[in-house]
Amino acid sequence: MMNYKIFIWMLIVPFVINGQNKISGNHSTQNLTCSTCHSCDIPTKENPCIKVCPRESMIRIDQPVTDAPKIFVINKIRETDIYSPVKFSHLAHAEMSGLAGGCRTCHHYNPPGNVIGCSDCHESSRKRTDISKPDLKGAYHQQCMNCHRAWSGSTDCTVCHELKGKEKSQTSVVSNNKKRIHPEIKTPDKISFAAKTKQGKLVTFYHNEHINLFSLECSDCHSNESCIKCHSTNKTASTKTISEKIKHKKCSSCHNTESNCSSCHSNSEAGGFNHKSVTGFDLSKFHSKLDCARCHTSKSGFKGLNNECKTCHGTWTLENFKHKSTGLVLDETHSELDCENCHKELSYSKPVCEDCHDDKSYPNNLPGKRAK
Amino acid sequence: MANQSRRNFLKTSALIGAGLTGVSSKPAKAAPNNILDENRMGVLVDTTVCIGCRKCEWACKTAHNLSAQSIESYNDRSVFKNMRRPDDKTLTVVNEYAAKGDDQFPVDVKVQCMHCDKPACVSACIVGAFSKEKNGSVIWNGDRCIGCRYCMVACPFQVPAFEYGKAIQPEVRKCDFCFDRTKDGKLPACVEICPMEVLTYGRREELIDLAHQKISLYPDRYVNNVYGEHEVGGTSWLYLAGRDFHELQFPKLGTNPAPGVSEAIQHGIFAYFVPPIALYALFGGVMWLNKNRKQDEHKEANHE
Amino acid sequence: MSEFIKPTPMPRKYFTPTVIFLSVIALVGIIFVFARLIFGIGTVTNLSNQYPWGIWIGIDVAAGVALAAGGFTTAALGHIMHKEEYHLITRPALLTAMLGYTFVAMSVAIDLGRYYYIWHPLIMWNGTSVLFEVGICVMIYLTVLYIEFLPIVTERFIGRVNLPGLLKKYNNSVDKFLRALDRGLDKTMFIFIIAGVVLSCLHQSSLGTLMVIAGPKMHPLWQTPILPLLFLLSAISVGLPMVIFESVLTSRSFDLKPETPILAGLGRMIAPILFIYLSFKIGDMVIRQTFVYLTEFNTASVMFVIELVLGIIVPLRLFMSPQIQRSPLGLSIASFLVIFGVFLNRLNNFIVAYTPPYQFTPYFPSVGEIFVTAGFIAIEVLLFRAFVMIFPIVSVPQIPAVHKTKFSIRGAK
């Protein structure tokens, strides 16, 4: 059974890794300058002076993770007989790369078209004529160890490899039904940041609200982060002083960090998000069960909405509104009145009784019965 | 009597002179073949890539039959606490230098024989036991060695090591660039095993180009210097590093070949044996003159 | 003309307290030599991959060769310059050189990792190697020294061959052989004498070139391209002081009157040589501007100053003084200082100045090394005494001494 699986993977891997493709389309339509590929100012046909590997500045296209197999067995290198091939969980790495540099963290040369495999450029034999690029074994290890070495501090081969002849029975790397392969990350509910300012030196950040309430993805805030931010044997490296600008940048996509300081900064610990106190619109009565996105449909964050009901619901009429849902069943007299007769405001808050009745007022007198 | 000894003197001097000149042409033939082939190989060591896994140490020991421990034991990083040097049982070692400033990683530096283009050991060895081979290797010939350790005095990188513990057939040991392996078309053991390809094996000229290319592509990653390109007249092993080489304990050496001055002096004194023979003739002349003067004085004294 | 003073064997009682003391040291030294031969160099010495050469090379070989320079300087003086009045000091100097070089060879042998391959340089040549040149020169010179010594052996035994027991019948033929040998040597000796001087000049200087290849491993106070010249000059300047010192010691040891006039004549020649040596040393220091290292206070700078002041400048001043030149004690003190200076120079060049780029433990000679060195010196002294007693080496007045004023005036000033 196990062998069968490996066999399938071995069949899949070459297909996915293979497929060198031409730089498609017109050069000028791509985000390229001459110096991206050419090392001299005036390349000619005779001397194109093409850079050996324009890794860093080359255009790179990210492709959906789901297109790639979940696991690769990296068995293109056959020189060594000490360790068995690595079973590389592409899915797990791809997922987490969202928090870092994305696909390009590893796929440093990825022109439009099919994904280029490592062995397309990196030769599998160490003894070779073109030594300008690392060989395949070197390329793999240089790619992997950059992060692995950083977070564990270990260069132990057995972290990824198994010793030949000492392979453990296969552990299932992928459990299919989970949202992520990466084990659940314990996140703090709230973090209090101390700002250096005199006024409003405390920023209380409700991490859970940003995830649950505002449905932010990890990568919305955490991008271009190194694995070692979490996986580090010594976390002292992350205590670098960061400028205010960079600190604000993460919030400024949603919050106004230019002028509205007090929305985040306060002198005492702030409470959690309260729709009523922040926006003046009380959700607790009728909207508490809704996802934020039901009303805040704009994809670019949460914009303030008009608090008039018709913004979302359209104009209320007797036909489309069942007054019972407010908890009050109107009596016969009132049920035939138009909405505007009693609700003068567009927010349909307090009814006005005084227009018809001199001696009645809400909520001392009700125009019907409380629903059970 | 005086006449006879004078004649005798001249005859014998001529004989000795002829003997010495006859002999003088021999050393050139007997000396090892130290031609600098333009296709000689080398290794470019990129210390910014090395992770200090010490697999090269294991491979080296295994390739040279120097009782290596299990490969897992080389994961032990506690050896990095002390700076180590190659010795008679370990022909290559990796040293680690702590991360500094903004560096994320410590720097690991593999140390072994540099395989100079103009090796001091080859020049110095009394019996010519060392030779610079066509493929760049500087190797030691155990059949010739007498164990004088002058190579160790001469080596600017302090590489050759001696088996002090052995009374009979002690060897001078140093990295031989896996001469026995490369002869058969294989790669040096350390180059072959290195997972990161810190060690790039290739023609020395190409490696120098590659090194400069890397520096110009990543000027932030490397210091603008290829150690071994010019040091002591050039070495087959070349190094790239992200910080000053002297911080990584590379010796500060000039660009003149290590054996340059001493060979110049040596050849000056022994230019086709002319100076020694001239000196011999000079002393002979002085002796002859003095002897005659003394005898004349004696004769005069006797006459009076 | 009859000689008024003539080399003769000195039949004395061999064992004195000093001799017994030296024998003990020699014995301990020999025990350590055996330990080295059985267990290897590492067990007896403090040598390491950082310090491949210790005092066996620095003292036994380098200083040994320098201090045996009396042989070629007196040969040059007595035979090449043909100053006959100095002939009587050539024999002790020759013996010293012969014994000295013998022990140089032996020290080299025990320091060699593969001592049994000591003959390799004879057939395996490396023209670029300074050590090869030194080795070959020393080997040939040692042979030359033995040949030069042969006439003393023939002189001792011609007409006195007295083989024990059954060999008695060969007495006559051995005697004939010795006479033939003596005749042959007499005619060809000048070849060997000149060869000896040339060879000495070559290897004394090359001994300096030895350390040039160590380059920056050697402290800049000593590392200079003119090391060979400095070595040659210092060897020449230590030759005569060595002869003086030895002569005074021998005279004392055998209760003879020191040959003061001859020694004084020698003493007068030392000052100019020392001056040349000093000026080259200072000049080199000025040109290379290495005097800046003297402002640092460390072993190297202190040793250099001692070597320069106590070993060259002070004896130079002493040898320039007429009172010193006339007194055996003064001469021997001044000579001792020169010897000390050159000894220290060799030690400095080979050991103190040698600073390997990667140091773990600084080198200091082990007990074994020290005892072997001391033992070899002791054996040398013991053999010298034995040779002097057996062979006609030390000149003893045969008839009441009268000054040969003609020659002593010639040497003055």
A243-258 core/surface letters (b: 16 or more CB in 10 A; e: else): eeeeeeeebeebeebe
**C107: pLDDT confidence band, cut at 50, 70 and 90?**
very high
On average, the pLDDT of chain A sits at 73
Indicate the residue among A112, A139, A163 that finishes a domain: A163
Which subunits have 3 or more CB–CB pairs within 8 Å of chain C?
A: B
CA B69 – CA B55 distance, rounded (Å): 11
Q: Name the CA radius of gyration of chain A, rounded.
A: 30
Facing residue for A134 by CB, picked from B51, B197, B207:
B197
**A126: pLDDT confidence band, cut at 50, 70 and 90?**
confident
Say yes or no: B35 contacts chain C, CB-CB below 8 A: no
- Residues B47-57 have a mean pLDDT of 91
Say yes or no: A79 contacts chain B, CB-CB below 8 A: yes
Q: Is residue A371 located within the same domain as residue A330?
A: yes
Residue of chain C with shortest Cα separation from B160: C49
User: What pLDDT, in 10s, does the model give residues B196-205?
Assistant: 999 999 999 9
| Chain A residues whose beta carbon lies within 8 Å of the beta carbon of residue B206 | 131
Q: Is residue A328 located within the same domain as residue A266?
A: no
**B179: pLDDT confidence band, cut at 50, 70 and 90?**
very high
Say yes or no: B215 contacts chain A, CB-CB below 8 A: no
- Residues C308-337 have a mean pLDDT of 90
On average, the pLDDT of chain C sits at 87
The pLDDT value recorded for residue C33 is 94
- How many angstroms away from the CA of B117 is the closest CA of chain A? 22
Determine the distance from the C-alpha atom of residue C306 to the mean position of all C-alpha atoms in its chain, rounded to a whole number: 21
- Residues C392-396 have a mean pLDDT of 82
Q: Is residue A154 located within the same domain as residue A203?
A: no
The pLDDT value recorded for residue C41 is 92
CB contact under 8 A, B85 and C41: no
User: What pLDDT, in 10s, does the model give residues C247-281?
Assistant: 888 888 888 877 778 888 888 889 999 999 999 99
Which of residues 198 through 227 in chain B touch C, CB cutoff 8 A? none
Q: Does residue A208 belong to any structural domain of this protein?
A: yes
Q: Is residue A269 located within the same domain as residue A310?
A: no
Answer whether residue C24 shows pLDDT above 70. Answer: yes
Q: Which of A217-221, A350-354, B104-108 has the lowest mean pLDDT?
A: A217-221
Answer whether residue B16 shows pLDDT above 70. Answer: no
- Residues B128-153 have a mean pLDDT of 92
Q: Does residue A135 belong to any structural domain of this protein?
A: yes
The pLDDT value recorded for residue C4 is 57
Answer whether residue B8 shows pLDDT above 70. Answer: no
Facing residue for B127 by CB, picked from C81, C124, C130:
C124
The pLDDT value recorded for residue C103 is 93
DSSP track, B90-103: -S-EEEEE---TT-
CA A202 – CA A189 distance, rounded (Å): 16
B185, B168, B187, B169: which is closest to B177 by C-alpha? Answer: B187
Answer whether residue C352 shows pLDDT above 80. Answer: yes
Answer whether residue B153 shows pLDDT above 90. Answer: yes
| Angle at the Cα of B191 from the Cα atoms of B188 and B197, rounded to 5 degrees | 165
Say yes or no: A131 contacts chain B, CB-CB below 8 A: yes
**A60: pLDDT confidence band, cut at 50, 70 and 90?**
low
Which subunits have 3 or more CB–CB pairs within 8 Å of chain B?
A: A, C
- How many angstroms away from the CA of B196 is the closest CA of chain A? 4
CA C352 – CA C300 distance, rounded (Å): 6
Q: Is residue A108 located within the same domain as residue A31?
A: yes
Residues 6+ apart with CB under 8 A from B161: B86, B87, B88, B152, B172, B173, B174, C49
Q: Which residue has the tokens 């070849």?
A: C191
A303, A65, B276: which is closest to C198 by C-alpha? Answer: B276
Say yes or no: B261 contacts chain C, CB-CB below 8 A: yes
Facing residue for A138 by CB, picked from B52, B196, B206:
B196
Continuous segment of H or E residues that includes residue A163: strand A162-163
Chains A and B touch (3+ CB pairs under 8 A): yes
A102, A71, A263, A269: which is closest to A171 by C-alpha? Answer: A71
On average, the pLDDT of chain B sits at 84
CB contact under 8 A, C82 and B265: no
**A282: pLDDT confidence band, cut at 50, 70 and 90?**
confident
B4-22 core/surface letters (b: 16 or more CB in 10 A; e: else): eeeeebeebbeeebeeeee
CA A94 – CA A105 distance, rounded (Å): 9
- Residues C340-360 have a mean pLDDT of 92
Q: Which residue has the higher pLDDT, B187 or A321?
A: B187
Answer whether residue C330 shows pLDDT above 80. Answer: yes
The pLDDT value recorded for residue C163 is 78
Q: Is residue A79 located within the same domain as residue A11?
A: yes
Testing the interface with A: which of B46, B48, B50, B51 to mutate, by most A Cβ within 10 A?
A: B51
Q: Amino acid identity, residue A145? A: M
- How many angstroms away from the CA of B57 is the closest CA of chain A? 15
| Chain B residues whose beta carbon lies within 8 Å of the beta carbon of residue C113 | 145-149, 162-163, 166, 170, 172
Percentages of chain A per state (helix, strand, coil), in multiples of 5: 35, 10, 60
User: What pLDDT, in 10s, does the model give residues A146-166?
Assistant: 878 877 767 788 888 887 776
Q: Which of A344-348, C178-182, C323-327 has the lowest mean pLDDT?
A: A344-348
Q: Pull the structure tokens for residue C288.
A: 């290379």
Say yes or no: B256 contacts chain A, CB-CB below 8 A: no
Output the CATH code of domain C5-394.
1.20.1630.10
CB contact under 8 A, C131 and B126: yes
First to last CA, chain C: 28
CB contact under 8 A, B283 and C121: no
Residue of chain B with shortest Cα separation from C118: B146
CA A18 – CA A106 distance, rounded (Å): 16
Say yes or no: B77 contacts chain A, CB-CB below 8 A: yes
The pLDDT value recorded for residue A16 is 40
Say yes or no: B212 contacts chain A, CB-CB below 8 A: no
Q: Which residue has the higher pLDDT, A187 or A17?
A: A187
B15, B27, B14, B33: which is closest to B272 by C-alpha? Answer: B27
- How many angstroms away from the CA of C126 is the closest CA of chain B? 5
Q: Amino acid identity, residue B52? A: G
| Angle at the Cα of A101 from the Cα atoms of A99 and A107, rounded to 5 degrees | 125
CATH code at position A51: 3.90.10.10
The pLDDT value recorded for residue A14 is 43
Facing residue for A126 by CB, picked from B71, B105, B191:
B191
The pLDDT value recorded for residue C405 is 43
Domain boundaries, chain C: 5-394
CB contact under 8 A, B148 and C111: yes
| Chain B residues whose beta carbon lies within 8 Å of the beta carbon of residue C191 | 9, 12-13, 16
The pLDDT value recorded for residue B163 is 93
Half-sphere exposure of C209 (CA within 13 A, CB side): 29
DSSP track, A293-342: HHH---SSS------STHHHH----TTT--GGGGTEEE-HHHHTS-HHHH
Say yes or no: B238 contacts chain A, CB-CB below 8 A: no
CA A239 – CA B255 distance, rounded (Å): 44
Structural domains counted in chain A? 3
**C402: pLDDT confidence band, cut at 50, 70 and 90?**
very low
The pLDDT value recorded for residue C398 is 60
Answer whether residue A256 shows pLDDT above 90. Answer: no
Q: Which of A35-49, A123-137, C212-226 has the lowest mean pLDDT?
A: A35-49
The pLDDT value recorded for residue B22 is 39
**A59: pLDDT confidence band, cut at 50, 70 and 90?**
low
| Chain A residues whose beta carbon lies within 8 Å of the beta carbon of residue B210 | 131-132
Q: Is residue A55 located within the same domain as residue A152?
A: yes
Best-predicted range by mean pLDDT (B27-36, B113-122, C321-330): B113-122
Facing residue for C125 by CB, picked from B27, B154, B157:
B27
Characterize the bridge pairing of strands B41-46 and B237-240: parallel
Q: Which residue has the tokens 């140390």?
A: B111
- Residues A42-46 have a mean pLDDT of 81
Q: Is residue A107 located within the same domain as residue A203?
A: no
- ipTM confidence score: 0.88
Testing the interface with C: which of B81, B89, B114, B149 to mutate, by most C Cβ within 10 A?
A: B149
Domain residues for the domain of A135 are 2-163
Q: Which of A182-186, C1-5, C377-381 has the lowest mean pLDDT?
A: C1-5
Best-predicted range by mean pLDDT (A17-21, A282-286, C312-316): C312-316
Count CB pairs under 8 A between chains A and B.
59
Best-predicted range by mean pLDDT (A275-289, B285-299, C210-224): C210-224
The pLDDT value recorded for residue C394 is 83
- Residues C184-203 have a mean pLDDT of 88
